[in-house]
Structures are given as structure tokens and as C-alpha cells.
Amino acid sequence: MFNFLKRILNPSPRPITFFGRTDTGRVRKHNEDSFTSLRNRRLFVVADGMGGHNAGEVASRLAIESLLDYLHDERIKQMRGDDNEIRHTLLKAFNYANDTVMANAARDPAHSGMGCTLVACLLDGDTLHTCHVGDARCYIAQEGRLTQITTDHTSVAFVPRKAEPEAEEQQKARNVVTRAMGFPFPQDPEYHKNILGPGARILLCSDGLWNMVDFVRLEQILLNAASPEEASQTLVNAANEEGGRDNITALVIFA
């Protein structure tokens, strides 16, 4: 009866358009980012792989595949209209995906230490539900301004630079990811719920984008683009123009 009432009371899904683009960048030899967009589930995911050789690519792909296995069509239908159930299910899905990545790494020495950052969003009516670990980000552009929804799970570490002749070795700061798929979670994945206004624009991206393109430029591109395809391509181009030091993924939804 409860599920029947949810289906009767829930409004029709708001119209959406979306487009994703991923690029190796100008420095890396391989692209370890992955993303997926599922219109029927209104589910969107970006993963950024970490690990030697091809392990990062394996981790990002496996994390998304296992997340989608858990968040299958029927499970999403059953939880629609229930914010608490959506939050609970997203957290369980992330834990399921994390267990899958860790089990694979334990079985295959070539994948030992692999992992990925992961951000996923689910649209339910006018509500955006977001879950993530690491520094893959979600932004919302609406009412003429851009807002970062997610918090980066990173800490600052210092690594030595190569010593210059007749000079002491210096150090440089580097952000280190503190939560990622492929490693036991020190805390639950981070969850957010946001109400979308008319004409909202959503960006999911890897750090290869936001590390290269400053906030003001991100905002300008998202607010001015005529379509998600234009937005995602312009964002990737902007990151490459600034050096493209990492793999770049931009998944844009107009809702």
C-alpha cells in the first residue's frame, strides 16, 4: 500500500537533458576516469581511478559497475519518494561497491592498492540526492550562481622536492585523498539532499577538471552553455588549455 501511495502522490519526473565527456588530458598516458548516465534510473556517476599501471582504470570501472548492480531499476523504483530510504540505500550501495573493489584487489596482486574517488547523484522529482567519497565533486548552478555541494575528502601532505645544487631540499604541499573506494571507510560516505529550482544545472566531475579550471570559469561555462554537450566539451577544453595535467571528466545535467 505504501509503495502504491508513493507512485500516486509522486509528481511526474522533471524533464532532463545530459551529456558527459572524459579526456586523457595532456600529460597522462591512460585515462583512469569512468562515468555513466542512466536516464531511466535518473542516476549519474563519475569515478576517478587511483593505482599503478591499469589498476586505477579497473577500480573506477568496477566501482561504477557494482554500484549500478546494487542500484538496479526495481530498487530505485521502490525507494522513490522516500528521502530517508534513498539516503540509506545510497550509503549501502557505496559500501557494497567498496567491498567489491577491495575483494578484487585482494584476489589479484596486480590490483593491490587500487582505488578510486566516486560521486553519484540521483534525481527524485525536484530533489537531488548526492553521495561521494574522495575529491570527485558535484556542483549545482542555479539562480545565477554556482555552488559546490560536496566536500573534498583530502588532507595536505608535504613531499620533498628534488634538491637544487648547494640548496637544502624543499617541500611542496600536495592534497592526499583520505576516503576512497578500495579502502576501508574511516567514516560513512558523505550524503547531501538539495532541492532543485527551475533551470538547475548539475556538474559531476573529477579533480582533473576543477584543479585546472578556477571556480569563476566553471560558473561562467555552466551558466552560459546552451546545452549539456556544449558545457561538458567547453569544460574539458578549458582544463586542457590550462595544462591538462590529469584525466578530465565532466558530466553535465540540465534539469
Query: Which tens digits make up the pLDDT trace of 115-166?
Result: 999 999 999 999 999 999 999 999 999 999 999 999 999 997 655 554 444 4
- The identity of residue 65, as a single letter, is E
Which one, of 225, 206, 234, 197, lies nearest residue 48 by Cα?
A: 206
44-62: per-residue pLDDT in tens?
A: 999 999 976 569 999 999 9
Predicted local distance difference test score (pLDDT) of residue 158: 54
Q: How confident is the model at residue 167 (pLDDT cuts 50, 70, 90)?
A: very low
Contacts of residue 87, defined as CB under 8 A and 6 or more positions apart, other chains included, come to 129, 191, 193
Q: How confident is the model at residue 170 (pLDDT cuts 50, 70, 90)?
A: very low
Among residues of the chain, what percentage have pLDDT more than 90? 84
How many Å apart are CA 153 and CA 140, to the nearest integer? Answer: 19
Mean local confidence (pLDDT), 249-253? 98
Mean local confidence (pLDDT), 198-209? 98
How many Å apart are CA 145 and CA 216, to the nearest integer? Answer: 10
Higher pLDDT, 240 or 170: 240
Residue 244 has pLDDT above 70, yes or no: yes
Q: How confident is the model at residue 197 (pLDDT cuts 50, 70, 90)?
A: very high
How many Å apart are CA 185 and CA 142, to the nearest integer? Answer: 32
* pTM, to two decimals: 0.90
Predicted local distance difference test score (pLDDT) of residue 64: 98
Predicted local distance difference test score (pLDDT) of residue 52: 60
Predicted local distance difference test score (pLDDT) of residue 164: 44
Arithmetic mean of pLDDT over the chain: 91
Mean local confidence (pLDDT), 212-236? 98
How many Å apart are CA 190 and CA 182, to the nearest integer? Answer: 16
- The identity of residue 1, as a single letter, is M
Predicted local distance difference test score (pLDDT) of residue 33: 97
Which superfamily does 2-254 belong to? PPM-type phosphatase domain (3.60.40.10)
For 168, phi and psi rounded to 5 degrees?
-70, 150
How many Å apart are CA 109 and CA 123, to the nearest integer? Answer: 38
Residue 217 has pLDDT above 90, yes or no: yes
Predicted local distance difference test score (pLDDT) of residue 20: 98
17-45: per-residue pLDDT in tens?
A: 999 999 999 999 999 999 999 999 999 99
